[in-house]
Amino acid sequence: MPEPAGRRPDTVDAAARVLATGTYVSVALAAIGTFLMLLAGHVPVTQRGPGLDLARLPAELLGGRASAFLWVALLVAVLLPSARVIVAAVGYLREGDPRQSRVAVAVLCVLVASTVIALVTK
Amino acid sequence: MQMELTLLLAVGGILAGGFGALLGLGGGILVVPLLTLGFGLPFREAAAISLMGVITTSSSSAAVYLRRRTANLRLGLTLELFTATGALVGGLVAFALSERMLAGLMAAMLIYTAWTMLRRALSERRDAAGAAAQAPTRGAAPAADPAVPADPAAAVAGADPPAGDPPTVGAPVSPSTARGSYVAALGGSDYVVRRLPFGAALAFAAGILSALLGVGGGVVQVPAMNLVMGVPLRVSTATSNLMMGVTASAGALVYVLRGQVDPYVAGPVVVGVFLGAVSTSRVAHLVPTRILRLLFVVVLCYTAFEMASRALGLPIGPLGA
């Protein structure tokens, strides 16, 4: 059932918290990455940034590379809506609404399918 | 050169995010022309970076709408199933279409957006004139809320939902008839969701549009929910904003994994769009948006002309030089 006006179910608040926190983390990382990019003398538009390499990302992040901060910021942003859907799936299950939880899981399946298809057809 | 380009990207993002928040548009409709016509980026790269901005602004505003209980999380999740599928299809189709075809579609989208903004500005003027004419006879009757858009099509991505109580649409939910029905459970305390299959089909179309053109898709989603499904405008706008994140991320994943995102461009733009949207939303009530909207219609029409020129392979103006 829809959220009653007087009651504040945890699911909606938890989803809101995930989105707010994730956005600030993502924007902060993007700002740090942009600052590091300026320090390193990289020129945007004319000089293309390195592609995403998940295996090297942790080491590059620790090494303070601009592109690593930027990629982590972008990955946090892209995965944030999925995190909100996971929170909703778990939350509705806890609230005793397995049907709504299944819908959230189905949305996640579409997002996973996006990833798989993009990788397969790369 | 390096500092100037970075600043230009960030300022462009701030303007796109700021104008988007002021005029009730998602940043995407502005970021794509900015990056393609202004910085000469290929359309697909611009769309990918624009989707990053859309996700960021959608996530930050959706958090607020969820806390205020303006966005309907259940309805949003249900429709996201269709917008995300549409975005997956759109993301793949985008690689099959030529740059010129994408530019042509963007030009059509810009003209449609300009048209909805023009209608909104004109209806606001009519409402203001009507309120002024009736003022002496109304006595102490409250004036119409200028924040409530008369045209649902104009209340698009990134728009702050109109203030006040949501209008009651449809019959009140009867617990006896609603029990056990999934569709009934998607409604609110004073509205029921109607024609879900039709709404889902439109959500699918909004998803395709979002991934193809790097926009939020609210320009389709809000009227679909409000006019087709009977969801109040305020709830439709907020729920569309919530859904935009998942829709855009489904499309963005395809672009990221196919190496279409340049982090050096995306970083400054995302920071700029976020700062522009957040700072402008705090001063939006001080700005005469009707005049701004009319001026912006001109800007959108000019940008549409540039995009159409690119689509037709004609010599383009200073923006595309």
* pLDDT one-digit tens code per residue, B191-234: 899 999 999 999 999 999 888 888 888 888 888 898 889 999 88
Residue B143 lies in a domain: no
Is A2 in contact with B185 (Cβ distance < 8 A)? Answer: yes
Q: Of B32-41, B94-103, B169-178, B265-274, which one has max mean pLDDT?
A: B265-274
Higher pLDDT, A76 or A115: A76
The pLDDT value given to residue B26: 65
**CA–CA dist B60, B54 (Å, integer):** 10
Chain B residue with minimal CA distance to A44? Answer: B264
Q: How far is B294 from chain A (nearest CA, A)?
A: 32
- Cα B259 versus chain centre, distance: 25
Q: Is residue A101 scored above 90 in pLDDT?
A: yes
Chain A residue with minimal CA distance to B242? Answer: A81
The pLDDT value given to residue A74: 96
Q: How far are the Cα atoms of B88, B245, B254 from residue A113, in angstroms, in the given order?
A: 8, 17, 10
The residue type at B239 = T
Residues with Cβ within 8 Å of B188's Cβ and at least 6 positions away in sequence, in order, are A2, B72, B166, B231, B232, B235
Q: Is residue B185 scored above 90 in pLDDT?
A: no
Q: Which helix (H) or strand (E) holds A2?
A: none
Higher pLDDT, B157 or B190: B190
**CA–CA dist A2, B250 (Å, integer):** 26
Q: Which of chain B's residues have a Cβ under 8 Å away from the Cβ of A12?
A: 66-67, 69, 73
Residue A110 lies in a domain: yes
Residue A4 lies in a domain: no
HEC profile of chain B: CHHHHHHHHHHHHHHHHHHHHHHCCCCHHHHHHHHHHHCCCCHHHHHHHHHHHHHHHHHHHHHHHHHCCCCCHHHHHHHHHHHHHHHHHHHHHHCCCCHHHHHHHHHHHHHHHHHHHHHHHHHHHHHHHHHHHHHHHHCCCCCCCCCCCCCHHHCCCCCCCCCCCCCCCCCCCCHHHHCCCHHHHCCECCECCCCHHHHHHHHHHHHHHHHHHCCCCHHHHHHHHHHHCCCCHHHHHHHHHHHHHHHHHHHHHHHHHCCCCCHHHHHHHHHHHHHHHHHHHHHHHHCCHHHHHHHHHHHHHHHHHHHHHHHHCCCCCHHHC
Interface test with chain A among B36, B65, B186, B249, by most A beta carbons within 10 Å: B249
Residue B74 lies in a domain: yes
Q: Is residue B83 scored above 80 in pLDDT?
A: yes
Q: Which of B108, B278, B52 is nearest to A52 (CA)?
A: B52
For all residues of chain B together, what is the average pLDDT?
Answer: 78
Q: Which of chain A's residues have a Cβ under 8 Å away from the Cβ of B56?
A: 23, 26-27, 77
The pLDDT value given to residue B284: 67
The pLDDT value given to residue B1: 67
Half-sphere exposure of A57 (CA within 13 A, CB side): 13
The pLDDT value given to residue B148: 34
Residue B141 lies in a domain: no
Q: Comparing A98-102, A116-120, B179-183, B312-316, which segment has the lowest mean pLDDT?
A: B179-183
Chain A residue with minimal CA distance to B65? Answer: A16
The pLDDT value given to residue A58: 93
Q: Which helix (H) or strand (E) holds A29?
A: helix A10-40
Residue B188 lies in a domain: yes
Domains of chain A: total: 1
Nearest to B253 among A51, A78, A107 (CB): A78
Is A73 in contact with B270 (Cβ distance < 8 A)? Answer: yes
Residue A41 lies in a domain: yes
The pLDDT value given to residue B163: 43
Is B270 in contact with A119 (Cβ distance < 8 A)? Answer: no
Residues with Cβ within 8 Å of A117's Cβ and at least 6 positions away in sequence, in order, are B88, B92, B254
Is A103 in contact with B188 (Cβ distance < 8 A)? Answer: no
Give the mean model confidence (pLDDT) for residues B263-272. 95
Which residues constitute the domain of residue B204?
2-126+149-161+168-320
Nearest to B271 among A34, A44, A111 (CB): A34
Higher pLDDT, A85 or B131: A85
The residue type at B245 = G
- Predicted ipTM of the assembly: 0.89
Is B270 in contact with A30 (Cβ distance < 8 A)? Answer: yes
Note the pLDDT tens digit of each residue in A39-67.
998 888 888 889 888 899 999 999 999 99
Which residues constitute the domain of residue A89?
10-120
Give the mean model confidence (pLDDT) for residues B133-158. 42
The pLDDT value given to residue B175: 42
Give the mean model confidence (pLDDT) for residues B264-287. 85
Q: Comparing B57-71, B138-152, B210-224, B283-297, which segment has the lowest mean pLDDT?
A: B138-152
Note the pLDDT tens digit of each residue in B18-49.
877 776 666 677 888 889 888 989 988 998 99
Whole-number percent of chain A with pLDDT over 70: 92
Residue A1 lies in a domain: no
Q: How far are the Cα atoms of A30, A76, A115, B154, B251 from residue B9, in angstroms, in the given order?
A: 13, 21, 28, 27, 22
Is B5 in contact with A44 (Cβ distance < 8 A)? Answer: yes
Is B270 in contact with A121 (Cβ distance < 8 A)? Answer: no
Q: Which of chain B's residues have a Cβ under 8 Å away from the Cβ of A71?
A: 263
Note the pLDDT tens digit of each residue in B237-249.
889 889 989 988 9
Domains of chain B: total: 1
- The CB density around residue B214, as the number of other CB atoms within 10 Å, is 35
Q: Of A8-22, B117-131, B175-189, which one has max mean pLDDT?
A: A8-22
User: What's the pLDDT band for B164 if we cut at 50, 70, 90?
Assistant: very low
Q: How far is B124 from chain A (nearest CA, A)?
A: 31
Give the mean model confidence (pLDDT) for residues A111-119. 87
